[in-house]
Chain A
Amino acid sequence: MAEKAQRSFLKRAAAVSVAGGVVLSLAPMSGAVAQGGGKDTLIVGTSGLSNIPHLNPLDSGWLLQGEINNLMYTPMIRWSQEDFSPAPGIAQEWESSEDGLTWTYRLNPDATWSDGEPITAEDAKFTYDLLREDPVLNSRHGDLVDNFTDVRAEDDHTLVIEIEEPSAMMNHLKGVSIMIMPEHVWGGLDDPGAYAGEPDQPTSGPFRLSEHREGERITLAANEDYWEGPVDYDEFVLQDYQTPEAMVQALQAGEVDLVGGLNPQQYEALESREGITTSTGPGRRMQSLTFNAGARTQGGEEFGDGHPALQDPDVRRAIAHAVDKERIVEVATGGFALPGVSYVPPIFGDLSWEPTGDDLIDADIEAGNRLLDEAGYDERDSAGLRVDPESGRPLEFRLFYHSDRPSYAIIQDFLVDWVAELDIRLDAIAMDTTPLNEEQEAGNFDIAFGTWNSGPEPSETLAYHTCARLPEDAEPTDLTFAFYCDEEYDALFERQTAETDLDTRAGILRDMQQLLYQDAPAIVLYYENQLEAYNSERWSGFETQPAAEGMIREQQGAFGYRSATPADGAGGQAAGSGSDSGSALPWVIGGLVLVAVAGGGFAWMQRRKTADDRE
């Protein structure tokens, strides 16, 4: 479930116009989502709903689509709430043959669709066959199903899959990324790839869709007789807010019950509010610096305008020595993050690698300078910058950062000064997201900021550093982060792909992260905490994933939403405790200033008008 930051020109314009609408969105919402009729409705505030083009469960790339899918469907195999290990979903148990080429999945006989029909192995076979044949769906799930040679239903509750090459993915069948669809309904669809989500279709999870208002709100109705036990409330609403600030105000006003994606200041402000409970835990979103490790094609033809010195791992490692991740975490995130290591966040347990002893690249300018001296970068030019002995160019790199992400503007300030102590100059350049991505994909960059959400299947992320991801021709590509290519790394990647023993595979995955850490095609700065808050006067019982100190929203499952329980009599309760003098004061002051400014402008316009009239 990787979501690369991608915002188009139009979206940027939309975001801007939307920011202008802040004042509007702060006004109390219409009664449309107000609670009524004794119905318990869990309202979750989010942003970015307008990115969601459709609700096709088999063609989902956005985090929000994933959240909705998890509420409506049950996957074959879940990611456990405890630690993201594979856990039973529709399939109760599974095993492979000796050679690892035949896998047998036994389905839960109690599993039913929300219309009462049983969920059978035929449904699973239908779904996997669909993924193998439909071009749209195959482009998203080919990594799993293209390896299938035969899928058959032995009986109603036994599914057998034959595969060509041994594959670690058979242990989880991509978890929540692939949901099984009902053959008795989907069998009649003309073009399943174009399915956009229709109300009241039979589902296999705790909810079914009741309304999707594009860019505004998604409403789900609870399935009263969900086979794993229905939820304690009747309706789930995902409500879009244009800015986090508007969302925070809505939470305080009681218009929304749960919000995520807060910043440290908002989180701290909400911590002290009565009736609101905050929750934080390590998340899976990471922020990183990506180097242009030498943009080239599979055939070795170089392209782009990256600085040649960055192809040398010593230079990249020296820069890594200059980066004080602890300090960045403290200043840019208020301490709500973990210093980064590699591409698998620590919440994924033993899949994630921790450097110890000599492996650790700590914040140590002297070590960085030593490294550069030993690697032959000991000449200085007239400006005092180190010179690359091979190309003769001074070590002066462009650092691209996104103009719409405030934390990057802070971090780049630090980086420029820290790296200057290595006698290397960074030219920080702010860019819009779209042109920045385009330059990066074309290899026209030296160092660029980036963000990434890693899923419980690490190979989906680690694949971005394999040689196979280099482009065939000298054309832009978003399939590789850093144009990195290393034979040893590729060999490890091949090995983990074929390794079906989970522990052995975890070991190989850790080795790969160690290698990436040492070679430093990218510096992972930190893993952001998920910062959330909910109305605890109305709701309680939100469970997190991982179970200890995890997140409520953006889970790889629906554990948080399923465990929520409404407080007694909350159904008819009026919205929140309303206005609170504590938060009103800054608003009043802000309002006065606004009025003063607007009034001044208005008066000026008026005077001008009357002056003209009097001519």
Chain B
Amino acid sequence: MSAPSTPAPPGETEEQPRATASGSAPQLTSARAITWARRRKALADFWRQYRKQPAGLVGLGVLAFIALATLLAPLYTDESQLRAVNAPGERLESPSGEFWFGTDEVGRSILLQVVWGARVSLQIGIVAAVLAVGLGTLVGMMAAHYGGWASWLLMRLTDWFIVLPSLVLAIALVVALGASRFTIIVAIALTSWAGTARLVRAQTMSIEGRPYLERARALGAGHWHQMSRHVLPNLMPLILASATLQVSSAILTEASLSFLGLGDPSTVSWGTILERAFHAGAISYGAWWYMLPPGFAILAVVLAFTLCGRAMETVLNPRLRGAR
């Protein structure tokens, strides 16, 4: 087998090492070791490509900073000051040395709320995105693999979810199930899996058409073996990029739902801060420090996830890379 003229995209390196490893790499003793070596190489390739994209690096940096700030929050802030009883400031103080982003209508620091709000917003965003992408992958793979009436049924279901206005559906779901962190996650996941399903179905069909899968089938591989050993590993990069982008939209949806009063009122998230600011009359009062920080926080995180997702997509898709 001749070496490819362009570097193979990491997502499609599955068969080449296997073909060459049998003769020319006797130092690798087991199939497992071969697989891992291949994966390490793919990852290193991926990182080399990713590193070439400044936007992706900026996004990654912002995300790392936010993740650190969020995880370490208990070390440098006092959570008890989120309770109205312990509010340290006066009502709607403007930004000052003590309160960098001012205070809310009870006297709590806005900065503190934004830092702690990140936990809820990120948690909901990430969990919902993982669920949505997981569901989308499952549906997409099944539809592509089984074909026939099952595919038809699953795809019509997917189409149906794609054409439904997702925010309206999410609102209806949350209203029906009652507002809580769990229901918001479920609502977001249920309304945003359909795009991934279509993407995954297309990619699965292209993978299943490759000769090595035909060989595997000829050797008697079952559905499960084909899916888990051959198709899914090849899908992973695509799924990862899709999930990263999905997080952005999940965080935005969470903020929208909370802003509309459907959030969990007992916790602080960026959306609920915005909602409270609106109801407290921050606009009339001119309390810009109440609305801007959570707004910018949403902006920063969404942007960072989008940049990372874009960069990943570019790495995985050589045609996009060429366009740069």
Q: Mark A residues whose CB is within 8 Å of B.
A: 9, 12-13, 15-17, 19-20, 22, 243-245, 248-249, 262-266, 268-270, 331, 334, 403-404, 406, 409-411, 413-414, 417-418, 428, 430-432, 435, 582-583, 585-587, 589-590, 593, 596-597, 600-601, 604, 607-608, 611, 614-615
Which residue of A has the minimal Cβ distance to B306?
A604
Task: Name the one of A17, A248, A583 contacting B281, with C-beta atoms under 8 angstroms.
Answer: A248
- Residue B208 at the A interface, CB < 8 A? no
Which residue of A has the minimal Cβ distance to B259?
A19
- Are A611's CB and B313's CB within 8 A? yes
- Are A19's CB and B171's CB within 8 A? no
Given A269-B281, A590-B291, do A432 and B179 touch, yes or no (CB 8 Å)?
Answer: yes
- Are A417's CB and B85's CB within 8 A? yes
Residues of B within 8 A of A17 (CB): 171
Residues of B within 8 A of A404 (CB): 261
Residues of B within 8 A of A597 (CB): 252, 295, 298-299, 302
Question: With the chains together, A83 CA to B320 CA distance in Å?
Answer: 77
Q: Mark B residues whose CB is within 8 Å of A.
A: 83-85, 87, 91-92, 105-107, 171-172, 175, 178-179, 245, 248-249, 252, 259-262, 264-266, 276, 278-288, 291-292, 295-296, 298-299, 302-303, 306, 310, 313, 317, 319-320, 323
- Secondary structure type dominating chain B contacts: helix
- Are A16's CB and B260's CB within 8 A? yes
Task: Name the one of A270, A411, A589, A600 contacting B292, with C-beta atoms under 8 angstroms.
Answer: A589
Question: With the chains together, A263 CA to B277 CA distance in Å?
Answer: 12
Question: With the chains together, A245 CA to B282 CA distance in Å?
Answer: 9
B227 to chain A, nearest CB (A): 24
Task: Name the one of A269, A411, A431 contacting B284, with C-beta atoms under 8 angstroms.
Answer: A269
Residues of B within 8 A of A265 (CB): 92, 105, 280-282, 284-285, 287
A262 to chain B, nearest CB (A): 8
Question: With the chains together, A422 CA to B316 CA distance in Å?
Answer: 62
Residues of A within 8 A of B172 (CB): 13
Question: With the chains together, A17 CA to B174 CA distance in Å?
Answer: 13
A406 to chain B, nearest CB (A): 5
A408 to chain B, nearest CB (A): 9
B135 to chain A, nearest CB (A): 19
- Are B252's CB and A601's CB within 8 A? yes
- Are B299's CB and A596's CB within 8 A? yes
B242 to chain A, nearest CB (A): 10
In this complex, which of A20, A265, A430, A582 has the most chain B Cβ atoms within 10 angstroms of its Cβ? Answer: A265
Residues of A within 8 A of B295 (CB): 590, 593, 597
- Are B265's CB and A587's CB within 8 A? no
Question: With the chains together, A614 CA to B321 CA distance in Å?
Answer: 12
Q: List 21 A-B contacts (CB under 8 A).
A: A13-B171, A13-B175, A16-B260, A245-B279, A245-B284, A265-B281, A265-B284, A266-B284, A269-B281, A269-B284, A269-B286, A331-B91, A403-B261, A406-B276, A417-B85, A418-B85, A582-B286, A586-B286, A590-B283, A596-B299, A597-B299
Residues of A within 8 A of B279 (CB): 245, 263, 406
B181 to chain A, nearest CB (A): 12
Residues of A within 8 A of B299 (CB): 593, 596-597, 600
Question: With the chains together, A15 CA to B259 CA distance in Å?
Answer: 12
Given A417-B85, A600-B306, A601-B252, do A403 and B260 touch, yes or no (CB 8 Å)?
Answer: no
- Are B284's CB and A248's CB within 8 A? yes
Question: With the chains together, A541 CA to B57 CA distance in Å?
Answer: 65
Question: With the chains together, A248 CA to B285 CA distance in Å?
Answer: 10
Residues of A within 8 A of B296 (CB): 593
- Are B84's CB and A245's CB within 8 A? no
Given A248-B284, A590-B288, A593-B299, do A614 and B320 touch, yes or no (CB 8 Å)?
Answer: yes
Question: With the chains together, A240 CA to B87 CA distance in Å?
Answer: 36
A22 to chain B, nearest CB (A): 8
A9 to chain B, nearest CB (A): 7
